[in-house]
Structure 1
Amino acid sequence: MTDTAEHVRQAHALLADGRTVEIRPARPEDRLGVEGLYARMSPESLRWRFPASGPGPGRQAARRVCGPARPGCLALLALYDGRVVGVAEYEGGRAGEAGENGENGGSATPVAGGAPVTTAEVALAVADDFRHHGVGTLLLEHLVHAARAEGVTAFTAGALAGNHAVLRVFADLGLRTTRRLDGGEVRCEILLDPDEHYLASVDERGRTADAASLRPLLRPRSIAVVGAGRAEGSVGRAVLRNLHRAGFTGRLLAVNPHASVVERTPCYPSVAVLPKAPELAVLTVPAHAVPETARQCGKSGVRALVVLTSGLDAEQGAALLATCRHYGMRLVGPNCLGIANTEDGIRLDATFAAHRPLPGSAGVAVQSGGVGIALLGGLARLGIGVSSFVSLGDKYDVSGNDLLQWWEGDGRTDLALLHLESFGNPRAFSRTARRVARHMPVLTVDAGRSAAGRRAAASHTAAAATPTMTRRALFTQAGVIATRSIGELLDAAALLHSQPLPTGSRVAVVSNAGGAGVLAADACVEAGLTVPELPAALAAELGVALPAGAAAGNPVDTTAAVGGTELAACLDRLARRSDIDAVLVVLVPTATVRATGDDPVRALLRTAGDHPAKTFAAVLPDQGERVRLLPTGHPDGSALPVYADPQDAARALARAVERTRWLGRPSGTVPEIDGLTGTAHAAARDAARALVAGFLAEHPGGGWLDPRHCARLLDLYGVLRLPQIWAGNEDAAVAAAAALSAAGGPEGPDGSEGPDGRVALKAHWPGLVHKSDQGAVVLDLAGEHRVRAAWRELTARLGDVMTGAVVQPMARRGTELVAGVVQDEVFGPLVLFGLGGTATDVLADHAARLAPLTDRDVRDLLTAPRCAPLLFGHRGGPPADLDGLEQTLLRLSTMACDLPELAEAEINPLLARPDGVTAVDARVRLLPRRAHDPHLRRLR
């Protein structure tokens, strides 16, 4: 019955208990499997499913589900180990039967001639032994996704009033559902309009399923090391040794056909002959043996794999992942260092690292084994330690997103550290990170910044939207603290782990050496912190407390003669101030203080411990370590982060301030847009999709829209633009200029300027992007003679390549900006904003955020570029139309989200004035792409 199946991808997804099922459209060859599903149902289940059917209802349903394709119909199957365990279907042309062990649908809008339906009847059935594991809900999520892509706006369903199971499935889905009682049947209507509540419901189901699937990986009750060699340098033997040293609490086995014992662990010749299938298998076999070994593991009942082996080719890698999906095994690696969990009840160290991870509270996930070793060592030196560690390697399956969800609920992790070189589903990562970052700091190393030099696309926007800018937009919106190196990450982790967050950016710098204090103050300002002048009364108090010759400004120079008692009095006064958010203390060793025994460092530690609500950091330039945590001696076990360089300390403080600001801001919502809501938005979207489809039908490989189509697209989404008329020849250009001159005026709503009605002539040909660079623009044309001369000049220079020209009135003066969108195939649409005009590439003053933009994102975009003061009333001038700028950015965001084929779009210049915002020039490039739903639950 599946007419739309060709648009629905096969996927694997997790059930609530962590098992993996395959979701795909039904095929004719599935008929026996679907019949078997119904044949195994209990009589009660069949009664709920087919309350009014005659004999053989299962066979009839199977014939329909797996029968010939029909317009407006789709059936999806859930399969576990090749067995059909669930069916979900919708029909636009006729009413269905009844549902999941009652799960079932209601009425429908008939389909005429294969046209997309708006309402469809939904039906659902789940095997008895898979009920209450989320099969029905998972199928419905995928069915909703497919139906929306085909234009279905609502599902209708019916179930007997006593069928609480199906009614609960519909109610808990998260979509707006209405019910009415019709005799003994409850009729439901489910609106297929995913909102934040629905996405949050999907997130929560995903988090629960993800955590359950990772339990055999991170809390296994038994482990087998497959490929444990006898040689001293064997990776498998190293893993076994580390598992023993860590004191793994579960059962430990090894597989080696040439040994009976390795590292005091009994060996077996193959996975197939193990006395009992382990929950976790660690594979260290050669690359060519990995696929078959993984198959043996899956067949034996292993629940999770860690593949340390490197060097798998594409065929071997594909076979490994296919095996894991078929048998429902979660996979870490290949080409990884291993995993660790320091829980007392687990004590798992399945790595071949030289040193055992120190137990602690930091969750660590890395793609590089070398980075992992460095982070483990650094966290151990700091005394922070790790709760769990996962070396993701080539990241075929388990990702940073999975680990964030694990740490969110493991009860031990309070700091998340990530090193990610790639993202499988960035927008899903963003939602997860945004949620987790509300409860714990999430830090990452922004790896691969050198990619900023790659410029593959033609427009200014696409050239500016580098991978670095895209990642930073993701991190900024999600509240992830991005550092430039492992050292900086550890610097920030030390402060965030040991100190309260500062309430603001005001820092008091205290030093016993004037020069060192100045360097620290400079470092703070360069990091974006403020070093305010201290109030006169406070400065007077400090002057009394400090030795003679002290300077009680900010920085505070205590002189080299300061002792511990005097320093403590100074710091105590600063710590009590509400107008000081953090205190940075720089102490250099002096022989004078050593002789008195009144140690300033001990006083600093003691004072920091006495003020647990104030943020303290210290710099000891003579220490060997870049950063360390010194205990304050306070009964609460607090510690003080101490750095060797004031720049490291200042950057760490700045990142703590950044986190404070992020936590203090509302998360933001996607606002409604004037004139672009409800049916108006639907009409604009449908018209835009028709425009796109028409263009791609003529240009299957994609390309740049001509000016007329660009203008039409902007008009559909309500983006205000300068009037334009297309001219195919000289006479048409003259007529267009006359028409625009007659319609314009100095204060005309169309943005034209001057009583002489001057116009611009802009040549066009397919593929033209940068008109100014090509000499394709002639400005300030007044009168027929000037227009004709300009046309002839352009045609003489450009020849037959020129297909026509756009005639526009000259725009009034304003701040020239650029606003655009780039559709990244991995990250989705990115909205870019900044200084425009011909210098946009040279000055590179841009900011970016991932779409859909929230109200918070839009404000960030307006304030982030260096040119922002020009928009807010620079030097007493009037501010630009900020509401108009916000509307323009939101409309571009909506357009990009509606049209996955929109590869890039740019408005440059976008003129901003106090009385309005006008798009002067626009370009749009389309590519044949299909929408990707980042929120649909599926494994990679």
Structure 2
Amino acid sequence: MREPAVSDAVFALLIDGTQTEIRETGSADREAVRRLHAGMSPENLYLRFFSLSGDIGGQIADRMCRPPGAGHAAMGAWVAGGLVGVASYEATGEEGVAEVSLAVADWMHARGVGTLLLEHLAALARTRGVRAFSADTLAQNHAVQRLFADAGLSLRRHSEGGVVEFTMPLAPDARYRDAVAERERSADVRSLEHLLRPASLAVIGAGRRVTSIGALILRNVLASGYRGPVYAVNPRAGAELGGVPCFRSAADLPEPVDLAVVTVPAEAVGQVAEECGRRGVRSLVVITSGVDGRELTAICHRYGMRLVGPNCLGIANTAAGFDATFAASRPIAGEAGVVVQSGGVGIALRDHLSRLGIGVSTFASVGDKYDVSSNDMLEWWESDPGTRLGLIHVESFGNPRKFARTARRVGRRIPLLTVVSGRSEAGLRAAASHTAAAATPDVTREALFRQAGIVAVHGLGELLDAAAFLACQPVPAGPRVAIVSNAGGAGVLAADSCADVGLSVAEPSATTREALGRLLPPGAACAGPVDTGAGIAPDRFRRCVELVAADAGVDAVIMIVAPTAASDLVSVVTAGDVSKPLAAVVLGQPESVDVRHGDGRRVPSYAYPENAARALASAWSYGRWRARPYGRLPDLPGTRRADAEEIITAHLSRCPEGGWLSPAESMGLLAAYGLPLAEWRMVGSADDAVQAAAELGEPVVLKAQVPGVVHKSDAGAVVLGLRGEDEVRRAYQAMAERFDGRLDGVLIQRMAPEGVEVLCGITQEPVFGPLVVFGLGGVATDVLGDTGARLTPLTDLDAEELIRSVRSAPLLLGHRGRPAVDIAGLRSALLRLSCLAEEHPDIAELDLNPIIARPDGVVAVDARVRVIPQRHWDPYLRRMR
């Protein structure tokens, strides 16, 4: 095991937002560890070591900084270059159990150093085979006992003789992840205070040329009404610029400002960031493009500064009264949080949200996203009561699984909306070149958004349509939409549009139809859609809408108005007493979407029926997701994790670069996780094949195992439906001749009864991590492409929804009198695959194709698994980008 290096460090946030460097300790850290313990108070030393010893620091430093080994590890936490805490474990006599110990500098107590170290040490220990930590602490050491109790790990205590013995299994269950996520949210929000609510601000690179980026940002900051001190920095601009004090460099600023907006040329950004860090600046927004982002990030970490950008438009917080962007217009204060990578998209969203009267609460153009990202903004919105809607347009994800977990939590409080961009090949190329980041595959992002409850649309127009509805109206309780129109043709178009997006057109009850009949002239249509006729008076039209909305069989209403010379119904849009979700369509309206205000109400108004239908469908999908239970990660009895680990480890020791497992290894791995497999035998001769067929029962299938042959059917390596000794023997001999000299053996299986063939599998997506894939299997897999995917870990509800998400789901659920297949068995298989993928990132590909699904069970009849050496890491571990 190699000596830990400083380059292996990660950065994370303490509970007060302080940036902390976390890494394994090495020989170069011995003196720092010794000084840490030498500086601890006698009381702290006694509580930590149960005694006082003159050279305890040196002894501990020797142990913690010795060469790495299989049975021990140590980690340190550094703040501003100084060591403030250490944590280590040592193997005990019990297999898989290690004793953990922690020490934190006296002046850093109660800031979360020990908890952060425990999280990182536990994650490291899990990758090295440690299953549980143990610890002994004095009964009066309440701080350490509270630390263990609050960590979120399962905890067992035993007290005896003034000593409390703890045992902590390291398996990261949902309770532990929730505890880590809450600590991360709290720390992240604290760290963003200086960025999004700055008490003072400087624009570095502001010039006297009014069209320069720095001058435009300074002008916007001052025009937005920001009340804190504002400074300009420019070595050639004099003592005053734009009405504010100007200084030659960041080092000359009269105070360490909370926020510095940097617009200097790319080659000067690094030096400016260093000056800001030394002056005590708390956060940077770097507008400049073409910057070495890694070098800039390292500088920001070194000085504890949060970073937005580089290559961005800037940030704004209307509640804090500042707009530090170079947009041509300023957003009105409002309720929508916006995070984008593209500055142009950000400008469009700001302007449209302002035009609609929805307004913006916080805005962040995160550019190349080296630090502050959509994850950070989600956590800010969660804590901000002024944000009631979130709009996200990002083209890549640094930690998509953490994003999904955060979005799931935030989405329970506010609707989150996004645009799925980069779907075409050209779009993917553009996204990659524009953001200097790998674009994410469409199907994977769709899975991510679906699981996270994010309303995902396919264009900015759709995004604004949905935002207008969700900002102004309640979420529909169901998909039944009543349509009321004074133009019959438009009502038909609306009905078609509802059907296109999965909504149903509600038919009013008999009581409601009778009431409508008394209001409307002869010939009016009182069933769904309701056609009032063109000449209806405004008060009667309003009453029709109220009657339909009050019907118990209606979840939402689309009101369609065609202005005529006979009757102006536009005023009715906001006049009715309607408590259910309402979308208006004003035919001839110049804007594709508008928000109409009146009587204390806001109603979204669309130019076309299809826009209104899509907006309602988006709102209903969000409502349906929000109403569903969280789901649970089920216990999976019969899982033999040690056996699976042994199979993968043995293969990678023989093939360090990885490769396809042998059939026996694949079957053994899957069996270790309790996946349903057709019984099999591996044979090496015709006689053995005959004997195996007799043991398994006829008919059987023979599958040749040939190196490099993955798709056996295409290569003629599969023979089906064999009965009797002669057929089995001839088939074996034919395979031996066909693959002369290359045959590694033959797999014999009893043929499964006919059923629906499905595919279940795992793929390691380079950005998103492991996905579970499900769809129609057999020869139809490549032809029809009917598959869906979900990110791991799957809950029981995720697995159920994945099964129902494919177009061929009716074949599984019962179709035209045929019984449903064993859905519980399919669900179990998907959950076991999810667990396998989560616990073994070495699995690059896994196909169970086909799995035969029948009413009486499911069974996999073919499997292939490819493994690669992969670093094990916890995607939910607290760390900065």
| TM-score, normalising length: structure 1 | 0.90
1:26 is displaced (CA, Å) by 1.0
Q: Which residue is 2:436 aligned to? A: none
Q: Percent of counterpart pairs with the same letter?
A: 52
1:650 aligns with 2:613: yes
Cα 1:842–1:68 change in 2 (3 A) is: closer
Could you tell me how far apart the structure 2 residues matched to 1:70 and 1:525 are? Answer: 64
Q: Contact 2:485–2:561 (CA<8 Å) still a contact in 1? A: yes
Is 33-42 or 877-886 further displaced after alignment?
33-42
Is 443-452 or 894-903 further displaced after alignment?
443-452
Which amino acid counterpart does residue 634 of structure 2 have in structure 1? P
Q: Which residue is 1:185 aligned to? A: 163
Where 1:281 maps in the other structure, the secondary structure is strand
Report matched runs for 1:850-865 at 5 Å.
850-865=791-806
1:536 is displaced (CA, Å) by 3.4
Q: Contact 1:741–1:758 (CA<8 Å) still a contact in 2? A: no
Q: Contact 1:175–1:198 (CA<8 Å) still a contact in 2? A: yes
Q: Which residue is 2:435 aligned to? A: none
Report matched runs for 1:423-822 at 5 Å.
423-450=397-424, 467-593=441-567, 599-607=568-576, 610-611=577-578, 613-631=579-597, 633-634=598-599, 637-673=600-636, 675-676=637-638, 681=639, 684-729=640-685, 731-732=686-687, 735-744=688-697, 757-795=698-736, 797-822=738-763
Is 168-177 or 489-498 further displaced after alignment?
168-177
Could you tell me how far apart the structure 2 residues matched to 1:4 and 1:900 are? Answer: 24
Where 2:584 maps in the other structure, the secondary structure is strand
Cα 1:255–1:811 change in 2 (3 A) is: same
Deviations 1:274-314 (A, max 9, x none): 121211111111111111211111111111110000012xx
Which amino acid counterpart does residue 309 of structure 2 have in structure 1? G
Cα 1:742–1:203 change in 2 (3 A) is: closer
Could you tell me how far apart the structure 1 residues matched to 2:741 and 2:46 are? Answer: 74
Cα 1:317–1:591 change in 2 (3 A) is: same
Q: Contact 1:243–1:349 (CA<8 Å) still a contact in 2? A: yes
Q: Contact 1:5–1:74 (CA<8 Å) still a contact in 2? A: no
Could you tell me how far apart the structure 1 residues matched to 2:440 and 2:101 are? Answer: 46
Cα 1:398–1:898 change in 2 (3 A) is: same
Deviations 1:599-626 (A, max 9, x none): 322223211xx22x30110111201111
Cα 1:739–1:192 change in 2 (3 A) is: closer
Could you tell me how far apart the structure 2 residues matched to 1:575 and 1:339 are? Answer: 42
Where 1:509 maps in the other structure, the secondary structure is strand
Where 1:551 maps in the other structure, the secondary structure is coil
Cα 1:158–1:721 change in 2 (3 A) is: closer
Could you tell me how far apart the structure 2 residues matched to 1:181 and 1:727 are? Answer: 57
1:308 aligns with 2:287: yes
1:89 aligns with 2:117: no
Q: Contact 2:701–2:721 (CA<8 Å) still a contact in 1? A: yes
Which amino acid counterpart does residue 320 of structure 1 have in structure 2? L
Which amino acid counterpart does residue 145 of structure 2 have in structure 1? L
Could you tell me how far apart the structure 2 residues matched to 1:13 and 1:190 are? Answer: 23
Q: Which residue is 2:181 aligned to? A: 203
Cα 1:298–1:728 change in 2 (3 A) is: same
1:3 is displaced (CA, Å) by 8.5
Where 2:816 maps in the other structure, the secondary structure is helix
Q: Which residue is 1:327 aligned to? A: 303
Q: Which residue is 1:751 aligned to? A: none
- Say what the alpha-carbon RMSD is for the aligned residues: 2.1
Which amino acid counterpart does residue 355 of structure 1 have in structure 2? S
Q: Which residue is 2:865 aligned to? A: 924
Could you tell me how far apart the structure 2 residues matched to 1:338 and 1:842 are? Answer: 47
Where 2:793 maps in the other structure, the secondary structure is coil
| TM-score, normalising length: structure 2 | 0.96
Which amino acid counterpart does residue 489 of structure 1 have in structure 2? L
Could you tell me how far apart the structure 2 residues matched to 1:654 and 1:704 are? Answer: 44
Is 841-850 or 790-799 further displaced after alignment?
790-799
Could you tell me how far apart the structure 2 residues matched to 1:20 and 1:573 are? Answer: 59
1:475 is displaced (CA, Å) by 1.0
Where 2:424 maps in the other structure, the secondary structure is helix
Q: Which residue is 1:110 aligned to? A: 93
Cα 1:185–1:803 change in 2 (3 A) is: closer
1:5 is displaced (CA, Å) by 5.4
Q: Which residue is 1:876 aligned to? A: 817
1:64 is displaced (CA, Å) by 2.1
Alignment coverage as a number of residue pairs? 871
Could you tell me how far apart the structure 1 residues matched to 2:115 and 2:521 are? Answer: 72
1:794 is displaced (CA, Å) by 4.2
1:54 is displaced (CA, Å) by 2.2
Cα 1:51–1:758 change in 2 (3 A) is: closer
Which amino acid counterpart does residue 851 of structure 1 have in structure 2? T
Could you tell me how far apart the structure 2 residues matched to 1:552 and 1:334 are? Answer: 59
Q: Which residue is 2:260 aligned to? A: 281
Deviations 1:740-779 (A, max 9, x none): 24532xxxxxxxxxxxx23323233223222223333232
Which amino acid counterpart does residue 792 of structure 2 have in structure 1? A
1:453 is displaced (CA, Å) by 11
Which amino acid counterpart does residue 384 of structure 1 have in structure 2? I
Is 175-184 or 369-378 further displaced after alignment?
175-184
Which amino acid counterpart does residue 524 of structure 1 have in structure 2? C
Q: Which residue is 2:270 aligned to? A: 291
Report matched runs for 1:231-246 at 5 Å.
231-246=209-224
Structure 2 unaligned spans of 5+? 430-438
Q: Contact 1:217–1:279 (CA<8 Å) still a contact in 2? A: yes
Q: Contact 1:626–1:644 (CA<8 Å) still a contact in 2? A: yes
Cα 1:933–1:71 change in 2 (3 A) is: closer
Is 188-197 or 548-557 further displaced after alignment?
188-197
1:225 is displaced (CA, Å) by 1.0
Q: Contact 2:482–2:549 (CA<8 Å) still a contact in 1? A: no
Q: Contact 2:657–2:869 (CA<8 Å) still a contact in 1? A: yes
Cα 1:468–1:625 change in 2 (3 A) is: same
Is 284-293 or 143-152 further displaced after alignment?
143-152
Deviations 1:340-372 (A, max 9, x none): 0001xx211110111111110111000111110
Q: Which residue is 2:51 aligned to? A: 52
Could you tell me how far apart the structure 1 residues matched to 2:832 and 2:426 are? Answer: 27
1:454 is displaced (CA, Å) by 9.4
Which amino acid counterpart does residue 918 of structure 1 have in structure 2? V
1:936 is displaced (CA, Å) by 0.8
Could you tell me how far apart the structure 1 residues matched to 2:587 and 2:739 are? Answer: 66
Q: Which residue is 1:748 aligned to? A: none
Q: Contact 1:339–1:350 (CA<8 Å) still a contact in 2? A: yes
Q: Contact 2:508–2:553 (CA<8 Å) still a contact in 1? A: no
Could you tell me how far apart the structure 2 residues matched to 1:439 and 1:452 are? Answer: 36
Where 1:740 maps in the other structure, the secondary structure is helix
Where 1:142 maps in the other structure, the secondary structure is helix
Could you tell me how far apart the structure 2 residues matched to 1:7 and 1:232 are? Answer: 45
Q: 1:271 aligns with which of 237, 243, 250?
A: 250
Q: Contact 1:418–1:443 (CA<8 Å) still a contact in 2? A: yes
Q: Which residue is 1:145 aligned to? A: 123
Q: Contact 1:706–1:766 (CA<8 Å) still a contact in 2? A: no
Cα 1:454–1:777 change in 2 (3 A) is: farther
Could you tell me how far apart the structure 1 residues matched to 2:736 and 2:169 are? Answer: 56
Cα 1:167–1:807 change in 2 (3 A) is: closer
Which amino acid counterpart does residue 382 of structure 1 have in structure 2? L
Which amino acid counterpart does residue 390 of structure 1 have in structure 2? A
Cα 1:624–1:508 change in 2 (3 A) is: same
Where 1:591 maps in the other structure, the secondary structure is coil
Q: Contact 1:3–1:70 (CA<8 Å) still a contact in 2? A: no
Could you tell me how far apart the structure 2 residues matched to 1:310 and 1:7 are? Answer: 28
Cα 1:336–1:25 change in 2 (3 A) is: same
Which amino acid counterpart does residue 262 of structure 1 have in structure 2? L
Could you tell me how far apart the structure 2 residues matched to 1:773 and 1:624 are? Answer: 58
Q: Contact 1:452–1:468 (CA<8 Å) still a contact in 2? A: no
Is 44-53 or 145-154 further displaced after alignment?
44-53
Q: Contact 1:4–1:73 (CA<8 Å) still a contact in 2? A: no
